[in-house]
Each structure stands twice: as C-alpha cells, then as structure tokens.
Amino acid sequence: MRQKWRLCEIGLEDYSFLLLSRFLNALEVVGGAQQLKENAESKNVSSWNGPLGSLFVGIRQLGLSGWKPEECTAIGNELLAWKEKGLSEKEGSEDGKAVWALRLKATLDRSRRLTEEYSEALPQMFPQKVEMLGKALGIPENSVRTYNEAEIRAGVSKLCTLLLKAVRSTLGSQGWDVLVPGAAHGTLIQAIDRWAVVKQILCYLKGAPGDEVTAAGNNIKGVVLLQELPHLSHLGVRAGQEKVIFVTCEDDDKIADIQKLNGKCVRHNTTSNFPVKDL
C-alpha cells in the first residue's frame, strides 16, 4: 500500500508540472512579466492573483513532498496574505505600489531560495541510485542522465523568475545594486569556498557566508554577488573598508551573461549599465 501511495504522489507531481507549464505558457502569451508590470503601474493587481495562486500551489506541493514543510507553509501563508491585502494607494506616508512590490519581492526571493535549495539537493541525493536502477532495469542511458533534470524542471523556479522580473520592473530596478562603487579590470572567475590565488581577479559567487573579501588578500579587485545583500551587512561593510568594488545581481538573464565571461579578462565599472564587460 505504501508503494501505491508513493506512485500516486509521483503521478500528482507530474500532473502538477504539466498544469504549471501550461499556465506559464498562457501567461507568456498575454504578455508575461511586462503585462503584470503594466497592470501594477495602473494599480490593477487582479491579474497577479492567478500567478500568485499558482505559486502557492507549487510551493505547497514541495511541502507535501517532505521538502522543508515548515518553510513551505510560511511562504504559502505570506503569498495568501499579500494576495488578499492587495495594493493600497498609500501605506502610511509611503507610496502603496512601492510597499506592495517590496513586500511581495521579499516573499518571492524567499520562494526562489527554497526552490534553488531543492534543485541543488536533488543531484546530490539521487544520481548514484538512479544510475544503478537504470542499469538494472535496462533503461536507456540518456533517460537515466536526464532524470534529475526533469525533476528540477518540475519545480516552481520558472514562475518565481517571471514574477520577480515583473516586480523588479515595477520598482524600476535593473537587477543591479552597487554596494561599493569603482572601476577595475582583471580575470573573471567563479569563487567556490575560498579564493584562488590569482593576481588582479574579479570574481562572482552565488552565496556569501561572510569572510570572502578578506580571504583573498590583495588579489581580489571586485566582487559580483549573485543574490541580494543589504548595504550595511558585514560583507558589504568589509568590502568598503578593503576598497573592493562590490555589486549584487539578482536578474537571471544578467547572471547568465556574467557566467559566460568566466575565465575571460573583463572590465568592472559600476557606472555602466552592465557593470561587467568583456575587454
């Protein structure tokens, strides 16, 4: 019986992915993130109810699968609360649209972190078992290799990305935030755990435990952090003290462009529309 319940759960997850994919395609047909942004600017956020409701269902599905259920419940409650509250003309003395967008962005960032952790955990959990089972059952090698990728695509990360893009556009954000201004040039590398000992480097990293700037001594000239970071955070303050150019980027398209420059000689200029450019 337990196996039947498991198979039922897997079937529901597959069906959830199918419905979510159809919804995303329909959303793109009517304008996607740009249309949501235009509706928010006209103070009409009823068109956001469908995407937010779909994201709630997707997050709840993750929780029912056993992935951080408390966090999934908390995010779901926030999404329902912001959906019910809607957009006010004013929030105290502040513009209601800006407060609504910032509030929603915080929850969407939280949702994206959750789905990214899920995506990163899956390849660590299943590859060896999947390979063993695939060989034992005679499943084609290509199908075995793409198993984890399919599971990851079945998440809600695409919907999070679309909604975050719409929210950033509503706020007038370009996806960049400058913590320490300046200009420099050097070889762009991805930093993993500790800095490589390379002179005149610029680096980018996905997460920031806190001691990255000083770990490389005088080798590091600039940092691009692929997530949002408060200006008065420990890392931001240390970067200023060390006079290391520091920007954050949370736009997926710009992040992909940065990663294409890995290993190349680039110029890092915070006054540019795109702070990292190939020389």
pLDDT of residue 273: 64
Task: Check residues 173 and 39 and name the one with the higher pLDDT.
Answer: 39
- The per-residue pLDDT for range 81-126, each reduced to its tens digit, is 998 888 877 777 778 888 899 899 999 989 988 887 887 777 676 6
The DSSP letter of residue 250 is -
What's the token pair of residue 41?
């600017």
CA atoms within 13 A on the CB side of 251: 18
Q: Which residue has the tokens 């029912």?
A: 64
Helix 32-41 and helix 96-125: axis angle, to 10°?
Answer: 150
pLDDT of residue 108: 92
pLDDT of residue 192: 58
What's the token pair of residue 187?
């070889």
Residue 176's φ and ψ, nearest 5 degrees, are: -110, 145
pLDDT of residue 194: 42
pLDDT of residue 197: 35
- Active-site residues, by number, are 234
Please report which confidence band the pLDDT of residue 158 belongs to, taking 50, 70 and 90 as the band edges. confident
pLDDT of residue 19: 86
- The per-residue pLDDT for range 11-68, each reduced to its tens digit, is 777 788 788 888 988 998 999 889 999 998 888 888 999 999 999 998 988 888 788 9
Assess whether pLDDT exceeds 60 at residue 213.
no
Q: Maximum Cα–Cα distance for the chain, whole Å?
A: 66
How many CB atoms neighbour CB 166 within 10 A? 27
Task: Render 156-210 in DSSP notation, one character per residue.
Answer: SHHHHHHHHHHHHHHHT--SEEEEE--EEEEEEEE-BSB----SSEEEEES---S
